[in-house]
């Protein structure tokens, strides 16, 4: 029976199991549900090519090779950059985290980047 007086305040927040956000509800035939979910979880578990991580106290930006050089031009626009030949990523001082996020807004954030942002926010608020 639906709750006719339901509203957002009555909803119980549920933690998401998906790394990639936002999610969307779709309708599919029941016979395909398990296969589609398995494939979707497989895709969700893959490490994205365009991502930002914090490694050894430095901000690392990963991206596939750009033959036109647009990415490299954006990467060099941030002061203090270093190219890491071992894993083909661009590294920046941790102080440049906000600037990196501004230059690369569509890149996927690793969990440790989100934790660092939360910690900075709470330290600046106190």
**Residue ranges making up the domain that contains 57:** 51-125
Residue 96 lies in a domain: yes
Give the CA count within 13 Å in the CB-facing half-sphere of 81.
18
Residue 40 lies in a domain: no
Closest CA to 76 of 100, 94, 49: 100
Query: Is the backbone of residue 56 left (phi > 0), alpha (psi -120 to 50) or beta?
Result: left
Residue 81 lies in a domain: yes
Closest CA to 109 of 82, 118, 124: 118
Continuous segment of H or E residues that includes residue 109 = strand 108-109
Give the pLDDT of residue 1: 61
pLDDT (tens digit, 9 = 90+) per residue, 104-123?
A: 999 989 888 988 888 888 87
Cα 56 from Cα 94, distance rounded (Å) = 10
Q: Is the pTM of this model over 0.75?
A: no
The ranges of the chain with pLDDT < 70 are 1-3, 8, 10, 125-126
Closest CA to 50 of 70, 23, 36: 70
> What percent of the chain has pLDDT above 70?
94
Cα 100 from Cα 59, distance rounded (Å) = 8
Q: What total of structural domains would you count in the chain? A: 1
């Amino acid at each position: 029976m639906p709750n006719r007086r339901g509203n957002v305040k009555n909803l119980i927040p549920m933690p998401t199991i998906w790394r990639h956000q936002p999610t969307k509800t779709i309708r599919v035939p029941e016979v395909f549900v398990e296969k589609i979910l398995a494939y979707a979880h497989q895709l969700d578990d893959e490490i994205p090519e365009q991502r930002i991580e914090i490694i050894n106290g430095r901000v690392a930006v990963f991206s596939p090779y750009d033959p036109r050089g647009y990415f490299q031009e954006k990467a060099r626009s941030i002061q203090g950059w270093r190219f890491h030949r071992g894993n083909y990523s661009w590294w920046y001082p941790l102080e440049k985290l906000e600037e990196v996020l501004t230059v690369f807004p569509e890149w996927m954030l690793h969990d440790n980047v989100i934790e660092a942002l939360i910690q900075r926010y709470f330290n600046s608020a106190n």
